[in-house]
Amino acid sequence: MVLQKLDSIVCSSLTAQGLPVHFYLPFLSYGIDCFRALEMDIMRNAPTVKLPVNSYGAVDLPCRVEDVIAVGVPVGGYVKNMPRRDTLNPLKNVDSTGAIVPYPDVCQIPYRSMFGWPYYSNGYLSITNERGEVTGGIYGYGGGSFKFSYQVFKDRNQIQLDDINVDHVMLKYMTSDPSSCGCDTMVDPRAALTVKNYIIWQYFLNNKKLMRAAPEFERHYISEALRLRGRMNPLSKEDVVMSLREYTQASIKS
């Protein structure tokens, strides 16, 4: 894939404004700021890593993680993503020796009915006749609670898994690590003009003599950022058709 160095974009910005190399460092700083913002908002180049699961079903987050996009389990050549949950206990379960252990299964707790659908055998919901035959008639009935989920606990810097016995998970995350940005940073060519307009806008904005012209260059930057967002949108006609076909299903006819 063709990429462009941030250094060349900075030099191009200097040339466009007829400025000497003495302005290189502030221009490079503006370019790095723009690159980080684009990485989070538009470019979204999300790396994926394979992480081990510890004894109590938690995963330690890498230090570069800023936002978790997806957590999944490898299944052959595919990754089965897990849903996110917000009801897991954030406190660690500790035994009498002080060791961290998993929480007991919900099925072993007396108030199990809080977490599922306990009404099949209690007479609240009848789906069978006197001979035990299923009669149907529960159209639109949901599937109850789900398992194999996760929750992110930032205070622990961990991901807690729910009721799943695996050794590793796949983590897809967002990052804009400042230590990885510099003059040798590789930028997508489609974003080069956006970064350049941002650098020039910041140059005028931070120059007291030229500050009046800053709004004009801000509009140029916003225009290029919107154009970049459109270029980076991966949605195609085939994606729309497949989405419609995937979620089309049979229904009851009157």
The confidence score (pLDDT) of residue 123 equals 45
Tens of pLDDT, residue by residue over 27-45, are: 999 999 998 888 888 887 7
Confirm if 56 and 101 have CB atoms less than 8 A apart.
Answer: yes
Number of domains composing the chain: 2
Tokens for 231? 């270029």
How close are the terminal C-alpha atoms of the chain, in Å?
55
Note the pTM of the prediction, 2 decimals: 0.66
CB-hemisphere CA count at 13 Å for 172?
Answer: 13
Query: Does residue 146 sit within a domain?
Result: yes
Q: Between β-strands 149-153 and 4-5, what pairing exists: parallel, antiparallel or unpaired?
A: unpaired
Q: Is 39 exposed, middle or buried (0-12, 13-18, 19+ CB in 10 A)?
A: buried
pLDDT in tens, the chain (254 residues): 788 888 999 999 999 999 999 999 999 999 999 988 888 888 877 888 999 998 888 899 988 888 899 999 988 888 888 888 888 888 888 888 878 887 776 554 444 444 444 444 444 455 666 666 666 666 665 555 556 789 999 888 999 988 778 889 999 988 766 555 656 678 888 999 999 999 999 999 999 889 999 999 999 999 999 999 988 888 888 888 888 888 777 776 65
Residues 6+ away with beta carbon under 8 Å from 138: 125, 127
The confidence score (pLDDT) of residue 228 equals 92
Q: Which amino acid is at 33?
A: D
Is the domain of 166 the same as that of 88?
Answer: yes
- Geometric angle at alpha carbon 228, from 230 and 206, rounded to 5°: 145
Query: Does residue 117 sit within a domain?
Result: yes
Is the domain of 169 the same as that of 55?
Answer: yes
Query: Does residue 253 sit within a domain?
Result: no
Query: Does residue 101 sit within a domain?
Result: yes
Tell me the angle at which helices 24-38 and 192-205 cross, rounded to the nearest 10 degrees: 130
Distance CA 223, CA 40 (A): 18
Is the domain of 228 the same as that of 191?
Answer: yes
Query: Domain range holding 9?
Result: 4-44+176-232
- Indicate the DSSP class of residue 134: B
Confirm if 218 and 225 have CB atoms less than 8 A apart.
Answer: no
Beta strands in 156-197 (DSSP E): 158-162, 168-174, 186-187
Distance CA 20, CA 120 (A): 79
Query: Does residue 241 sit within a domain?
Result: no
Is the domain of 71 the same as that of 138?
Answer: yes
Q: Nearest CA to 27 among 38, 45, 15, 37?
A: 15
117 φ/ψ angles, rounded to the nearest 5 degrees: -120, 90
170 φ/ψ angles, rounded to the nearest 5 degrees: -100, 125
Is the domain of 33 the same as that of 62?
Answer: no
Is the domain of 134 the same as that of 185?
Answer: no
Q: Nearest CA to 58 among 177, 153, 123?
A: 153
- Indicate the DSSP class of residue 48: E
Is the domain of 93 the same as that of 147?
Answer: yes
The confidence score (pLDDT) of residue 44 equals 76
